[in-house]
Amino acid sequence: MKPIISFQQYSFRYKSQNEPTLKNITLDIYAGEKIWIAGPSGSGKSTLAHCINGLIPFTYSGEISGSMTIDGLDPATLSIFELSTKVGTILQDQDSQFVGLTVGEDVAFVMENKAVPRPEMKAKVISALTMVDMLHNIDQSPYDLSGGQKQNVSLAGVLSTDADVLLFDEPLANLDPVSGTRAMKLIHDIHVQSGKTVIIIEHRVEDVLQEPIDRIVLMNQGEIAAVGTPDDILSSGVLRKYGLRPPLYADAIEYAGISLEGVKGLSVPQQLAIPGLKEQLDAWTREVGENESSPTYAPLLELQHVVFGYDKDKSVINDVSLNVGVGEVVALLGNNGAGKSTLSQLITGILKPQSGRMIYAGEDISSWSIRRRGERIGYVMQNPNHMITQHMIAEEVGLGLKVRGVAADEIKERVEHALKVCGLHPFRNWPVSALSYGQKKRLSIASILILEPKLMILDEPTAGQDYHHYKEFMDFIRGLAAQGLAFLLITHDMHLALEYAQRAVVLSDGKVIAEDTVASVLSQPEVTTTAHLKETSLSLFARANDLDKPERLVHAFINYEKEKGHE
Ligand SMILES: Nc1ncnc2c1ncn2[C@@H]1O[C@H](COP(=O)(O)OP(=O)(O)OP(=O)(O)O)[C@@H](O)[C@H]1O
Ligand SMILES: Nc1ncnc2c1ncn2[C@@H]1O[C@H](COP(=O)(O)OP(=O)(O)OP(=O)(O)O)[C@@H](O)[C@H]1O
């Protein structure tokens, strides 16, 4: 069988780089295959995708050696239009991809180019938007959507292309857990029904594995580190070797002393047949023990009955009251479009509430300027490209100090420190444009952290990060919290919330629908259903294996990892 995509001894060096980003890639992908490209942040996944969809060499120039073909043809000999009929792409940064004035127009764009008759086009657009639960936003501008809603529109756009290869670069980034599951199911259905070749680049290991994958291609430092079926990859320990997090239940099994070597069906935790599994897990969870009780916190930020709407007659934030204590980590959870980013912009003063009060350290901050708030309350947005303004990395990190008149020597020292903390020190002399998405995300965090705020609002800080950086960063956050810095953490990662947040506030349709410990919130079906939350694979796994006290596995797991981190 002839491959649809073939890389032979392929290397690529971006013009601005000294070293090649892709090295000696030899990989055949066959028509109808479903491939997951995994690998740590900066390993070259998106660059490989750019080679497949023609961005390399058309948009990003550089030096190529070896060969790469699509359907037997060299992409450099095709026009960008011809290539787009072969490969349909969802990019990591959707803002750069929208072309329509409304959501409907955007989804219709591909068909308009092909002169599909109007009635047929309309029906297709409606059907695609219905599949991603976005029909009610059809007339809205794509730029006014929430992060997750944008992602859903991009998915709907790809549904209407005729390309044989569908390439998804982080299709789940920004999606709430329920939408993430739905997106994977949607991709699976398209794959089965159309027989198209599907290539997925994604950091959310467990979410990708919810549906069958033919082969995983694991990249590391521009090379292919391993290729295999999910069973091959999961049971071999290579994910961890390259800084990725295996599924939580797979780790739990190993922590309890059971080897995964040769175990089949590892991507379906509910059906794992390992002799003695229950007994060994029960014994391990008893040994590791329960969580300590949660401490109390002095008040820092308090919101009282805050109301806001982008249109006067439609509230997006509806009578929200919540508080965050000194040194407390509060998870702000909720479905896509619930109002989490809007609330963050109200707290930071970018938006003005129609009514309600905000109290910071006992003072009403309604009259405070954005800048004054910014000195105490740092806000890291979901999309790093919305925050970055400077050309060079060090300048970007030092900008906040520069505008505040801090001396150059001190700026230099603090920039170095912030870059180290965020794992960006090796790139300190680079232009921002040469960073991968995950690296840019860390950059936007570094540039706020350097201002030493008392409260930080982090919108999906770990989205697009590999486990190594996730852990390093979140442990760092935990350390800062222990020193008294407070965090409002917006996340769609339920395990992250369980692991790092003392409390959760759940938002849905602009209202607070629950406020409790994360574990308690996740155990309330009416809350999880309304806010699109999901129990973690660990608790699913614990129940499927009939553990004596299923909830104890989650606590034992978190305690064990905390202890291990301190070793
Ligand atoms: N436009 C560019 N110009 C120069 N170098 C680049 C460019 N884009 C990427 N690179 C280089 O390629 C490396 C890998 O980037 P790439 O986006 O392919 O990684 P990735 O595996 O997709 O990372 P992430 O998971 O963070 O998105 C970067 O660290 C950088 O060295
Ligand atoms: N600039 C805007 N103009 C009009 N409506 C907007 C604008 N920004 C957001 N919205 C709408 O407000 C609602 C809340 O959006 P918001 O971005 O706060 O949600 P979110 O909870 O942060 O979602 P996500 O998890 O997807 O990031 C959504 O229905 C969105 O479509």
Is residue 193 within 8 A of residue 70, CB to CB? The reply is: no
CATH 3.40.50.720 fits 299-566, yes or no: no
Would you tell me how many other CB atoms lie within 10 Å of the CB of residue 483? 7
Tens of pLDDT, residue by residue over 155-186, are 888 777 778 999 998 888 888 999 899 889 88
Cα–Cα distance measured from residue 519 to residue 500, given in angstroms and rounded to the nearest whole number? 12
Ligand 2: residue whose CA is nearest its atom 13: 337
Query: Cβ < 6 Å from ligand 1: which residues?
Result: 14, 16-17, 21, 39, 41-47, 60, 433-434, 436-439, 464
Indicate whether 33 pLDDT > 70.
yes
Q: Is the CB of 142 under 6 A from ligand 2?
A: no
Q: Over 70: is that where the pLDDT of 265 sits?
A: yes
d(CA 523, CA 540): 12
Residues 367-381: what's their mean pLDDT? Answer: 91
Say yes or no: do domains 3-242 and 299-566 share a fold.
yes
By the 10 Å C-beta count (0-12 exposed, 13-18 middle, 19+ buried), 281 is classed as buried
How confident is the model over 398-421, as pLDDT tens digits?
999 998 899 999 999 999 999 998
Please, which residues have CB within 8 angstroms of residue 59's CB and are 6 or more apart in sequence? Answer: 50
Q: How far apart are CA 469 and CA 502, in angstroms?
A: 21
- Confidence bin at 35 (pLDDT 50/70/90): very high
C-alpha 510 – ligand 2 centre gap (Å): 10
Find the 202 Cα to ligand 1 centroid distance in Å: 14
Fold of 3-242: Rossmann fold (3.40.50)
Which of 98, 313, 341 most suits a substitution to test ligand 2, by most atoms within 8 Å of the C-beta?
Answer: 341
User: What interhelical angle do 147-159 and 118-131 show, nearest 10?
Assistant: 130
- Percent of the chain past pLDDT 90, that is, above it, reads 51
- For ligand 2, atom 1: residue with the closest CA: 144
- Give the confidence band of 453 by pLDDT, cuts at 50, 70, 90: very high
State pTM to two decimals. 0.87
Nearest ligand, CA 312:
2
310 lines ligand 2 (CB under 6 A): yes
Closest atom of ligand 1 relative to the 439 alpha carbon: 26
Read off φ and ψ for residue 354, nearest 5 degrees. Answer: -80, -30
CA of 46 to the centre of ligand 1 (A): 7
Which atom of ligand 1 is nearest the CA belonging to 466? 25
Nearest atom (ligand 2) to Cα of 382: 27
In the reported structure, the alpha carbon of residue 338 is separated from the centroid of ligand 2 by a whole-number distance in angstroms of: 7
What integer is the mean pLDDT of 97-113? 81
The best mutation among 316, 348, 508, 512 to test binding of ligand 2, ranked by most ligand atoms within 8 Å of the C-beta, falls on 316
Domain ranges in the chain are: 3-242, 299-566
Residues 6 or more apart from 188 whose CB is under 8 A from it?
Answer: 34, 211, 212
Contact criterion met (CB below 8 Å) for 71 and 86:
yes
Name 111's Cβ contacts closer than 8 Å, sequence gap at least 6: 121, 124, 125, 160
- Mean pLDDT, to the nearest integer, of 228-251? 91
CA within 13 Å, CB half, 152: 30
Reported as a single tens digit per residue, the pLDDT across 190-226 is 899 888 999 999 988 889 999 999 999 999 999 999 9
Average of per-residue pLDDT across 124-141? 90
The CA-to-CA distance between both ends of the chain, in Å, stands at: 51
* pLDDT confidence band for 230 (50 / 70 / 90): very high
| pLDDT tens track for 66-84 | 999 999 999 888 887 788 8
